[in-house]
Amino acid sequence: MFENKSQENTSLEKLGEFGLIERLSKSFDCVNESTIKGIGDDSAVLDFKNKKTLISTDLLVEGVHFDLAYVPLKHLGYKAVVVNLSDIYAMNAVPTQITVSIAVSNRFPLEAIEELYAGIALASKKYGVDLVGGDTTSSTKGLLISVTAIGVADEKNITYRNGAQVDDLLVVTGDLGAAYLGLQVLERENEVFKVNPNSQPDLVGYTYLVERQLKPEARKDINGLLKVLGVNPTSMIDISDGLSSEILHLCKQSEVGCNLYEEKIPLDPTVISTCEEFSIDSTMVALSGGEDYELLFTVNQKDYDKIKGNPNLTVIGHMTEAKEGKHMVTRANTKVPLTAQGWNSFSEGN
């Protein structure tokens, strides 16, 4: 996978930890005023003055969260950053810095790690965040990536999961389910490749789905959009584990119930057609697929006129009294209990 025919690969053992850090960090420049000191000392130095600081960390493990048989390292680096920034945006905050730690086995040459960091650099540049530190170490099995995202916000603007009120509208950005189906397509083509290594992956017609899986984008635009519209979300979360799981998180933290309307769930036409091809229910995919990294939030009903018709936002339900429970209203107008069936990293299959 990491063969480079134009030149001999460089072993990490020969380069050493500090040589690796120097090599990887040379292309990262700091662009935020709050970054006083980045890479190169015992710790980073940040100055946010009167802002509140937000911190979020995710760990990605080879064989659990990604398969390098069909996940390019550059895409992996990009995604590792984006999934962390999404958590900061979900607090109605602005990400400013990241740290990246990796553990790698000796099967990875320098050139492979540089490809990973090329993706990290691309995401950092696009989202305007500074890489200010991290760690590198060896691994006995594969690749592990840990990214910590740091962000800032005025205290009055921070949006928690516990602010939803009865009768608030439930709103989601973008469309759902594409990332999960992208994974199904990639895994199908990988199985074909195992049987016939000479075959080329057939991804025609699946571009949107595959991109949503391999190179997701955090919704950095939504916080600014809501500000322009004059809308203050009462609660917010990003959709990483599936729509149903995230709704239930908001309900639990806010101590409310909900009615989600199946017919309102936004689905891309490619999702619908691919679900038919795979004989999968599209609603199930949206509810349980995960990795969409869209934002789910609640707003006061008085803000409905401000958001209706906006192509980025879809009202999919409303919050109720806790005693009424958490339900999905089906297209047949029947209520079914909403259950969390999202991805579980501790399940036996992972």
Q: What are the structural domain ranges in the chain? A: 12-157, 169-337
Distance CA 100, CA 72 (A): 18
List helix spans (H) across 131-200.
178-195
Report the 10 Å Cβ neighbour count for 166.
15
Which neighbouring-strand residues pair with 169? 299, 318
Distance CA 111, CA 73 (A): 10
For 42-56, write each residue's pLDDT tens digit. 666 788 888 999 999
Mean pLDDT of the chain: 90
Q: Residue 197 — pLDDT band, cuts 50, 70, 90?
A: confident
- Residue written as token pair 């608030």: 168
For residue 226, pLDDT beyond 90: yes
pLDDT of amino acid 343: 47
pLDDT at 290 over 60: yes
Domain 12-157 in CATH 3.30.1330.10: yes
- d(C-alpha 326, C-alpha 319), whole Å: 9
Residue 1 has pLDDT above 50, yes or no: no
Integer Cα distance of 82 and 63 in angstroms: 20
pLDDT band at residue 336, thresholds of 50, 70 and 90?
very high
pLDDT at position 21 is: 63
Q: Per CATH, the architecture of 169-337 is what?
A: Alpha-Beta Complex (3.90)
What confidence category does residue 338 fall into, taking pLDDT thresholds of 50, 70 and 90?
Answer: very high
Quote the pLDDT of residue 33: 87
Question: In the prediction, which pLDDT does 160 show?
Answer: 96
